[in-house]
């Protein structure tokens, strides 16, 4: 069975499964994931709503532990024979059972995804596509296992919280032991929430082709992009998807028309897909691709089982979020070609861009393109007091392009041949030198980055200054802070419970 088949049949038993597991009923991962996404972790978000509601009932049971409110005491308590605080403890217990079921179901779904991941890795190895040797595999595997461990701890703590409530009901909320076990139950619930919060930063599943992208962080990337779109996409693909993409790219070359440069065709194919993701209609996209593909190649590109249009849209959406500076730079070049605007220097195109708001790291993209017929060498220098490295100088040898990929007159977005924006941009990116540098911020707040383009002798050709703002990503910061606060409060509550319980027992003995 091929790796991509496992995506649609993740829970099928294999010959290696024990006899007992072959006949055990299991829900397909697609059904479990749909329920989890619509009700548990997203949609209704029961995994967050239930503990939040339980916290309210905890405080209600504690606040009215000595006496019930008048409306309850006069109208309800005579009929059910239960005080308000006891009713709130009972309601909290029911809510916690629901929370345990929600966490358990979510953990079951994560376990299915992790098991499917291992099956796909094994299938890729059997198909002689080693996934473990790719950059980022170890980090991705650690992230998936770490998420599973967090869910396990969250489930255990939720179960302990519900168990403590049974002691509260046994001893009574008005007793000292009942109040202590109420504190212990509340502390365990807070710790359970703290274990779940970090996992929301990196959700993953194996039902969708791109289900691992949210959990994958590229550990390495090229500093100079040879095939710009191709290298950028491969960097952000998770190891499983990247192993399939290498095979897809080799087969894709067989569908190119004779006489079409394969590097140019690759870049135009990806450029056209990007333009389709940003609004280019399908008919224009197909007519542009027909210029580089044979009919057989068109069928292969549009009917591939793994790299469908939905997958491409998800991939471009991912890299547009992580590397917005690159796409802003590409869009600026596109606008220059559409309007027929001349470059700042007649014999050299120089573009640079960087995120306006920097969170964990800054991506600085630079494009150099030699418009002359002579080879020239330039020095690109980065200077900044707010990032590391503070001073960086890179020397580039720029060869003349195979064609003159620019136009002094306005060009249409798409037309027959390469005398349009898509054709010029594809050739420009193919023959250009694109630099991708990562800068690590030292502090938060306003920051500046100065870039200089110089001759070998130090003569300044062009200089730019980029002003950005460095801050933490709000949702990640909020979840990390919430997890830390939950660990501190929950830990303090359990320590207090232990000490007070010892004092209570010691006092009873005395």
Confidence category of residue 508, pLDDT binned at 50, 70, 90: low
Q: Greater confidence, 403 or 499?
A: 499
Under the banding of pLDDT at 50, 70 and 90, the label for residue 338 is confident
Q: Any idea what DSSP says for residue 361?
A: -
101, with CB counted inside 10 A (0-12, 13-18, 19+), is: middle
pLDDT, one tens digit per residue, over 180-216 is 999 999 999 999 999 999 999 999 999 999 999 999 9
What pLDDT does 446 receive? Answer: 95
Given a cut of 70, whether residue 387 has pLDDT beyond it is yes
d(CA 344, CA 101): 63
C-beta separation of 85 from 61 below 8 A: yes
Residue percentage of the chain with pLDDT more than 70: 94
CATH fold for the domain made of 324-471 = Immunoglobulin-like (2.60.40)
Alpha carbon distance 229, 243 (integer Å): 17
Residue 128 has pLDDT above 90, yes or no: no
Mean pLDDT of 51-62: 95
Q: Which of 375, 367, 369, 428 is nearest to 397 (CA)?
A: 375
pLDDT at 6 over 60: no
Predicted pLDDT of residue 346 = 82
pLDDT greater than 90 at residue 419: no
**pLDDT for position 389:** 93
Q: In this predicted structure, what is the pLDDT of residue 7?
A: 38
Percent of the chain with pLDDT over 90: 70
What are the phi and psi torsion angles at 222 (to 5°)? -70, 145
**What is the model's pLDDT at position 488?**
97
Question: Taking 90 as the threshold, does the pLDDT of residue 383 lie above it?
Answer: yes
Mean pLDDT of 43-63: 95
User: Residue 26: what pLDDT?
Assistant: 59
Contact of 195 with 157, CB cutoff 8 Å: yes
pLDDT value for 13: 38
Residue-range domain boundaries for the chain? 3-211+479-509, 218-322, 324-471
User: What's the pLDDT score for residue 404?
Assistant: 75
- For position 418, what pLDDT does the model report? 76
The per-residue pLDDT for range 464-496, each reduced to its tens digit, is 999 999 998 888 999 999 999 999 999 999 999
Per-residue H/E/C for 481-496: HHHHHHHHHHHHHHHH
Residue 129 binned pLDDT confidence (cut-offs 50, 70, 90): confident
Q: What are 423-433's pLDDT values in tens digits?
A: 888 888 888 89
Q: Which of these, 135, 370, 380, 376, lies nearest to 243 by C-alpha position? A: 135
Q: What's the pLDDT score for residue 23?
A: 34
Closest CA to 456 of 380, 391, 405: 380
User: 446: which strand partners?
Assistant: 469
Query: Residues 257-304: pLDDT tens digits?
Result: 998 989 889 999 999 999 999 888 999 999 989 999 999 999 999 999
| pTM of the predicted model as reported, rounded to 2 decimal places | 0.86
Closest C-alpha to 415, from 300, 338, 316: 338
> What's the pLDDT score for residue 416?
79
The pLDDT of residue 3 is: 39
pLDDT in tens, 73-109: 988 988 888 999 999 999 999 999 999 999 999 999 9
Q: Which residues contact 14 (CB under 8 A, 6 or more apart)?
A: none
Listed ranges 10-14, 25-29, 222-226, 342-346; the one with the highest mean pLDDT: 222-226
């Amino acid at each position: 069975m091929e790796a991509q088949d496992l995506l649609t049949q993740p829970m099928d038993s294999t010959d290696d499964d024990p006899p007992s597991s072959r006949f055990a009923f299991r829900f397909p991962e697609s059904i479990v994931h749909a329920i989890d996404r619509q009700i548990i972790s997203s949609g209704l978000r029961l995994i967050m709503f239930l503990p939040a509601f339980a916290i309210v009932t905890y405080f209600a049971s504690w606040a009215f532990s000595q006496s019930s409110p008048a409306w309850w005491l006069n109208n309800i308590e005579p009929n059910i024979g239960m005080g308000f605080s006891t009713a709130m403890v009972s309601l909290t217990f029911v809510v916690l059972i629901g929370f345990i079921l929600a966490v358990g179901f979510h953990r079951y779904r994560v376990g299915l995804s992790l098991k499917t991941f291992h099956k796909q890795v094994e299938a890729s190895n059997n198909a002689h596509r080693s996934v473990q040797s790719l950059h980022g595999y170890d980090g991705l595997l650690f992230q998936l296992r770490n998420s599973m461990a967090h869910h396990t701890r969250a489930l255990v703590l939720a179960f302990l919280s519900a168990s403590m409530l049974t002691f509260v009901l046994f001893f009574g909320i008005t007793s000292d032991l009942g109040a202590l076990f109420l504190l212990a139950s509340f502390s365990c619930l807070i710790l359970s929430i703290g274990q779940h919060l970090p996992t929301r930063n990196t959700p993953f599943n194996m039902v969708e082709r791109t289900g691992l992208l949210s959990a994958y962080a590229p550990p390495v990337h090229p500093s100079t992009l040879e095939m710009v779109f191709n290298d950028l996409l491969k960097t952000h693909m998770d190891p499983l998807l990247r192993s399939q993409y290498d095979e897809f790219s080799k087969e894709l070359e067989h569908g190119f028309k004779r006489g079409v440069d394969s590097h140019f065709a690759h870049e135009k194919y990806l450029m056209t897909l990007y333009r389709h993701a940003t609004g280019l209609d399908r008919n224009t996209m197909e007519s542009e691709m027909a210029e580089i593909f044979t009919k057989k190649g068109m069928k292969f590109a549009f009917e591939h089982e793994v790299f469908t249009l939905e997958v491409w849209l998800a991939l471009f959406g991912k890299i547009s979020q992580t590397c917005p500076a690159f796409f802003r730079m590409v869009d600026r070049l596109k606008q220059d070609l559409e309007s027929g605007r001349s470059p700042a220097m007649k014999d050299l195109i120089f573009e640079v861009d960087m995120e306006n708001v920097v969170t964990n790291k800054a991506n600085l993209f630079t494009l150099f393109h030699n418009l002359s017929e002579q080879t020239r060498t330039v020095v690109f220098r980065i200077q900044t007091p707010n990032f590391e490295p503070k001073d960086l100088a890179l020397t580039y040898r720029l060869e003349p392009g195979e064609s003159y990929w620019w136009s002094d007159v306005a060009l249409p977005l798409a037309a027959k041949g390469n005398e349009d924006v898509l054709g010029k941009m594809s050739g420009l990116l193919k023959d250009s030198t694109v630099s991708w540098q990562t800068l690590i911020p030292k502090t938060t707040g306003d920051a500046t980055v100065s870039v200089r383009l110089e001759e070998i002798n130090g003569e300044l050709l062009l200089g730019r200054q980029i002003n950005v703002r460095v801050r933490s990503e709000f949702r990640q910061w909020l979840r990390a802070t919430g997890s830390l606060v939950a660990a501190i409060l929950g830990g303090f509550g359990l320590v207090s419970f232990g000490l007070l319980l010892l004092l209570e027992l010691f006092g009873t003995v005395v």
